Every structure is written in structure tokens, then in C-alpha cells.
Structure 1
Amino acid sequence: MIHIITDSCADLSPALKERYHIHTVPLSVFLGGQTYLDGEEIGLADLFAGVKHHNQLPKTSAVPQGRFEAAFQALDGDLLVLTISSQLSATYQSAVLASQSFPERTIRVVDTLNLSTGIGLLALRAAELRDAGKSLDEIVQDITQTAPKIRTAFIIDTLEYLYMGGRCSAMQNVMSSLLQIRPVIECRPDGTLGIQSKVRGTRKKALASLVESFRKNLEQMDLHRVFITHTGCDEDAQAVAAEIAALAPIQEICITHAGATVASHCGPNTLGIIYLEK
């Protein structure tokens, strides 16, 4: 039996994790002097309510080695561990160190070079390969080759969370607010984050820009599955899903909420489209 494990940054819904038999190990979120396990002790609504109550932005930390070791110990069989990009978190390194504590077992750790449902997309692909009878080595080879082809782009409503998390400068934060600039943040093939584009004007215009970018890439796109992941803007997510469904015969569009870790860095009303290129 091959078990698939992700960290909580994969942002998969409980229904998807149950359907594909995927296990999750949580990162930690710090808020109001307390530490919470992402997805187990704090979720999206709790996070933003806590930010408002404490007038303080959250911080996050990687999955510690011991937490991975406990998760590995609880599962029999071979393990495939898919983590958030090693460029964004020390979680990958923790998983590698934890795997070395079980030399008698077959545990493969893969750096997905991604975040949020970019990880989730790879996890579902791995589960489908497993269920099709592929070996662990075959799955690892496929996922390693596929990871750089994941395209993850998010419209950020405010840079305040990225600024407080050290992921943009004070000047970028101030200018974005003054000029009503909404950046589109992308996860690059090397696992780092960058600004794909900047949209000046209304949120509606920014979302239209995200959909237009999606449309332009249709010929290069694998239409098997597309994720729309957001931090509490359900109506926008449903509207974007309807728009991209009208553009191409996508087999499955999955709408999910981002978890507390991802939301801690991108803030409320963030929305992303995640897909795989051929």
C-alpha cells in the first residue's frame, strides 16, 4: 500500500482528501500569543476573526521533524510525501530528516516547487497513478517531471499580509494601496514567488485579467483538472469557475478554500487559478 501525505499548505478540501485517501500533516500558525495547527485547530474564518480581534497579523512555521515522524509511524506501507516548495518553507527539509529516522522503510519525499492547490493538484495526480497500479518509483518520476508544469497565479487584494510576512517591501505595500494596484502573484517553476503582472483599478478588472490570462494559455493546458482556490470570496470563485468553464471543456473544476497558513501570507479575498500545462 502506498500512502500519500501532504502538508496543510496543499489546501485540499476534506472531501477530496477522503475521496483520494490523502493524509495531511499541519504547519503551525501563531496568533494572539497562541499556537494552532493549521486545518485542525484553526481555519480560514477563525484566522481572520482572530486578526480582527487581536489587531495583529499571524505568523507561520514549518512542520517540525517530530510531527512528520509521528505521521510516518502511524501509517504502514510505503510513503510518498509531497511538500510545499523548499524555497518557501523548511517543511521539505523536515520531511527529509524525518524519513531518515525510518531507514527500514521506503519513504520518498518530493519538493513540489509549489504551494496551495499546486501541491494539491500533484497529490491528486499521484493518487490516481497509485490507484491505476503504478509503482512508487513510477509515481515519483511522474510527479517530479510534472511539478515544474504546474501554473499557480493569485490575485492579491492587499499586500499588507505579504509585507508583514517579509515577502514584499514597505514601498511596494504603500504604493499598491495608494494606486489601487492588485498584483498577480505566481509560483515560478523554480519554486519561488514573483509578480506575474499588476492590475490597476477595481477588483472586477483584476479578476477579469486573471481569467484572460487563463484563456490565453488554453492551448498549452491540460484540461483534466483545474483548481480555483480562495480566501473567503465564494461568490467570486463561483463566477470565475463559470467563466473558465465556458472557455474550454475542463473535466473537473475544483473550488477550495485556502487554509490558515496560505491565508496568513496572502490575506482575505485572494483568489487563484491553478492548472497543469501539457
Structure 2
Amino acid sequence: MSIKIVADRMIDLSNEELALLNVDTISCYINMGDKSFSDLEDVFPGDVFNYMDETGKVAQTAAKSPALYSELFGRFVAQGDTVIHFACSSGISSIAQNAFIAAKEYPGKVYVIDTLQLSLGIALLVKFALQMIANGETDAEKIVQMVTAIIPNIQGSFLIDTMDCLYKGGRCSGLTYYAANLLNIKPVIYMNDTGHMTVREKLRGTQTRVLEPYIRNTFEKYPNPDLKVLHVVYTTYNEEVQKKILTIVEKFHKFQRVQFNEVSCNCCVHSGRNTIGLFYMCQ
């Protein structure tokens, strides 16, 4: 018997890294018009933004059904594996609920962790579990308990550059949208302790101007980061912005590694172009 790690595709690691880690994923649906796609399988962030440019609408997201989660879990259980599934936060999606429903079909063989996170916040928890397994831990329940205990140590936040997707998706009012554009406000959204996305602060200025206060304030609010790795996520690749981020981060902490990852379509749908996010483990 072995332990198989599975996660929602919003883990936002590259396919190459997922293969290296031997982590399987399940994607949510990305619906554009009358067509439905699987996130990062047959639709990618550029497609989401092109759809918005061409139609003036934002794509819609939907969770895979409990039956599809059951099918995924069952494949590994049939091989004799015990499955630990890392689900995107129940505070922002029904994904976790559907995974829990499916897991009931495999008592003692499938465990679901509501990570209360998304993106690289999920990845940090997955890597913690994989390290436990590499160190010889074979008790799935103990791994679940240990991972659950460190969830509050994960810092995850996003700096939103444009509120177009939030407005068109009905997640902010017209008044808020127009005021933000007029005053050049960049909201910082973070994952709170209950797994909900909440506005932490509102910065004013261009993205280039607010990058440093965003990074500084994040490190001040969530001190003592584990310096092994800082994950920086983005919805739109910009080499100059990435260089600036590295320079700013160096002012505050000497991370052994700063890893940049493009996010899933799901995140792009809700956050829009030029969004930047920081994820790390606090000690």
C-alpha cells in the first residue's frame, strides 16, 4: 500500500513539476459561451483573456461533479493506494464539498483536506505532505492531521491590477469599480483564516509604484517566513515586473529560492490581467 497525493488543478504548479512530484490533479470547468473546457487541459489563461476582449464577458467557472471525483479516487484505490486529496478552499468554491461527497464512497481509503487556500498555498501543503512521506510516514490520518495543523501558517495574497473581471463577474459594484479606476486603487486580497478571500488593504498608484508597499506590508503582517522558497504567481507574464519583484524581495528577506508560476484559468477569471500573488510558509 502507498499513499497517493491528488490535488485540485488550482495548485498552479507546472505539469513538469507535478509529474516530478507524482501528484495527479483534477481541473474545474471553464465555461466560455456555450463551450466548456477543463482548466489547463484544453484552455489556458490567454484564451480566457482573449474571450473577454472579444465578447466583453468573463468566462464562468464550475466544479467537477462528485461522480468525477469518485472516478479519480477509485482509480487509485483500485491500485491499492490510500488517497489524500488537497481541495481548494471551501470558502471560495464548492470543489471541496464535491470531493468530500466522493470520498464517502471509500471510507478509510480516501481523505480530503480542505486547504482553505488556493494556488501555491495548496502546493506548499502538498509539498509538506510529500516530505512527510519521503521521511517514512505511512499513516495517512497522521499526515492529514499534521497538514491541517499547519494550514494557518500559509500566507497567500494577491495584488489586483485591474478590477475589470471583478466588475464584469458581478463581484464588485459599479460604484466601486468606477471609483477604483478613477483613483487608481489596487486592492490587496488575502486568504483569511476561514478560507475566504478578503480585502486586506487598498493601495493607490500604478502597479509598479505599489509593488514595494504590497510586498513590504505582506512581510510585516506575516513575519518569519520559511526562507526555503517564496512563490510568486502571476496572471500575465511581465519580465520587467518579475525583475522588480526580485529586487524588492531582496530588501526584506534572503530566500533560498524565488519561484514564479503562472496561475490557472480559474484564478485569471476572477482576478484579471496583471495580478501578482505571494505565497509562503510562516515558521
Q: Is the 8 A contact 1:6 1:23 kept in 2?
A: yes
Q: Would the alpha carbon gap of residues 26 and 228 (structure 1) be closer, same or farther in structure 2, given more than 3 Å must change? A: same
Q: CA deviation at 1:82?
A: 0.7
Give 1:108's match in structure 2, choosing from 105, 111, 125: 111
What percent identity do the matched residue pairs reach? Answer: 27
Correspondence 1:122 to 2:132: no
SS in 2 for 1:71: helix
1:73 maps to 74
Q: CA deviation at 1:106?
A: 1.2
1:51 maps to 52
Q: Within 5 A, what are the aligned runs for 1:64-213?
A: 64-75=65-76, 76=79, 77-103=81-107, 105-134=108-137, 135-213=139-217
Taking structure 2 as the reference length, what is the TM-score of the superposition? 0.92
Q: Would the alpha carbon gap of residues 124 and 234 (structure 1) be closer, same or farther in structure 2, given more than 3 Å must change? A: farther
Structure 2 distance, partners of 1:70, 1:238, is: 43
Q: Is the 8 A contact 1:233 1:270 kept in 2?
A: no
Q: CA deviation at 1:99?
A: 0.9
Q: CA deviation at 1:190?
A: 1.1
Structure 1 distance, partners of 2:140, 2:168, is: 40
Structure 1 distance, partners of 2:112, 2:246, is: 32
Of 221-230 and 21-30, the range deviating more from structure 2: 221-230
Structure 2 distance, partners of 1:117, 1:194, is: 17
- Cα distance per residue 1:34-56 (max 9 Å; x no partner): 11100111111122122222332
1:257 maps to 262
Structure 2 distance, partners of 1:112, 1:219, is: 21
Q: CA deviation at 1:170?
A: 2.6
Gaps of 5+ in 2: none
Q: CA deviation at 1:215?
A: 4.1
Paired letter, 1:111 = D
Structure 2 distance, partners of 1:218, 1:30, is: 36
Of 135-144 and 184-193, the range deviating more from structure 2: 135-144
SS in 2 for 1:74: helix
Q: Is the 8 A contact 1:10 1:116 kept in 2?
A: yes
Computed over aligned residues only, the root mean square deviation of the Cα atoms, in angstroms, reads: 1.7
1:233 maps to 237
Structure 1 distance, partners of 2:208, 2:75, is: 46
1:19 maps to 20
Structure 1 distance, partners of 2:176, 2:156, is: 21
Paired letter, 1:229 = V
SS in 1 for 2:96: helix
Paired letter, 2:252 = L
Taking structure 1 as the reference length, what is the TM-score of the superposition? 0.94
SS in 2 for 1:221: coil
- Cα distance per residue 1:2-41 (max 9 Å; x no partner): 1111111111111221221111100001113211100111
Structure 2 distance, partners of 1:26, 1:238, is: 31
Structure 2 distance, partners of 1:63, 1:181, is: 35
Of 205-214 and 266-275, the range deviating more from structure 2: 205-214
Of 161-170 and 182-191, the range deviating more from structure 2: 161-170
SS in 2 for 1:275: strand
SS in 2 for 1:199: strand
Q: CA deviation at 1:276?
A: 1.2
Gaps of 5+ in 1: none
Q: CA deviation at 1:71?
A: 1.1
- Cα distance per residue 1:211-252 (max 9 Å; x no partner): 212443574222222110000133223431343245323233
Q: Is the 8 A contact 2:158 2:276 kept in 1?
A: yes
Q: Is the 8 A contact 1:69 1:99 kept in 2?
A: yes
Structure 2 distance, partners of 1:20, 1:270, is: 27
Deviation beyond 6 Å, 4+ runs, structure 1: none
Structure 1 distance, partners of 2:177, 2:124, is: 30
Q: Is the 8 A contact 2:155 2:222 kept in 1?
A: no
